[in-house]
Amino acid sequence: MAKRSRKTAARPAAKKGGVVARVFGWLLLIGLAAAGWFAWQDADHFADVPLRVGAPVVLDVPAGASFAAIRRQIREAGLSDAHDLYWRALAQRMDVATRLKAGEYAVPVGTTPRELLRRMAAGDVIQRRFTIVEGWTFRQLRAELANAAGVRQTLTTRSDSEIMRELGAGADHPEGRFLPETYTWTRGDSDLDLLRRAHQAMTRALAETWAGRAPDLPLESPYQALILASIVERETGKAAERPAIAGVFARRLRLGMKLQTDPTVIYGLGAGFDGNLRRRDLETDTPYNTYTRTGLPPSPIALPGLAALQAAVHPDPGDALYFVARGDGSHEFSPSLDAHNRAVARYQLRRTP
């Protein structure tokens, strides 16, 4: 009887131990679930809390950088000291861990980890700007490119002809062949990259403007239109006057008159021009002296913009054959030499007391 009594007493104890184990297991699962939920909430909160950016920061991600290396850059820049697991979890959730691109990234105030990773995955790198100014010569363009901070320099020892061959332009004269406008570029772009884009842009623009040209132009080719556009560009800074200036030159070409335009003479003088155009310069014959030679000069004399190109192929009608600067940036147009001489006396020979 005593033995049966001991066996009967052991059953409730075993049952009680099993219940405790199950309760402990459930509590452990609940605890783990709660911890996971809180961790997930914390990670989600981390993704959308702005990084520590006191002033705009630039992250320069090199080609081939691993996710761990990028994370170190972020930490060393003082943007975040969150655990790597948070960054990795966020990158996995966004499916960008292996798709972050090299380049320079601006990190302005207010940027969140989620936004930073999204921009790196999209390759939303810093875009810098380089502006080619209407009326620059190719020599000026090369000088400005050589001084453009951050542009990779590859052309400092190359001649103009070598550059044109690199661009696939053969023996083309470089003057006028690059379209003035603002071009964006990113870290790693070279001076040749920028020139290639400007050259392609001018090639397209010239083809389009020539295709839409006015009838009966005294021009035989797109290149002649480019030459005329470059002269128009250098003759006036007023956009509204460009078609009128082009009209004067178009009529002179039809009549076989000399163009007699100072900018071509100055271009022919090259680096020797000291800013003072003298009578002897106008009388010294060079291929670019339109006072001694009829027709267009052998090449453009500057980089014309789109407005000058359009003016060259759509010159204003009229009877003006002369123009003179008024002194305020505009010009007086005249149909005859007598009228022109009177305008010269009025605006150029006038003396103030």
Tens-digit pLDDT string for the chain (353 aa): 455 555 555 556 556 566 666 655 555 565 555 444 444 555 567 888 899 888 888 999 998 899 999 999 999 989 988 888 889 989 999 999 999 999 999 999 999 999 999 999 999 999 999 999 999 999 999 999 999 998 999 999 999 999 999 999 988 999 999 999 999 999 889 999 999 999 999 999 999 999 999 999 999 999 999 999 999 999 988 889 999 999 999 999 999 999 999 999 999 998 888 889 999 999 999 999 999 999 999 999 999 999 999 999 999 999 999 999 988 889 999 999 999 999 999 987 664 44
Residue 50 lies in a domain: no
Report pTM: 0.80
Measure CA 253 to chain center.
Answer: 37
CA 34 to chain centre: 52
Q: Are residues 341 and 226 in the same domain?
A: yes
Based on the domain organization, do 334 and 222 belong to the same domain? yes
Sign, Cα dihedral of 278, 283, 284, 287: positive
SS3 string, 92-107, reads: HHHCCCCCCCCEEEEE
**Which range marks the domain in which residue 106 is found?**
57-122
Cα–Cα distance measured from residue 323 to residue 331, given in angstroms and rounded to the nearest whole number:
6
Q: In terms of domains, do 230 and 332 share one?
A: yes
What are the strands, taking DSSP E only, across 212-320?
none
Give the CA angle between residues 323, 132, 140 to the nearest 5°: 80
The region that residue 310 occupies, defined by phi over 0 for left and psi between -120 and 50 for alpha, beta otherwise, is alpha
Q: How many structural domains are present in the chain?
A: 3
* 183 shares its domain with 284: no
Same domain, 102 and 149: no
Q: Are 227 and 320 part of one and the same domain?
A: yes
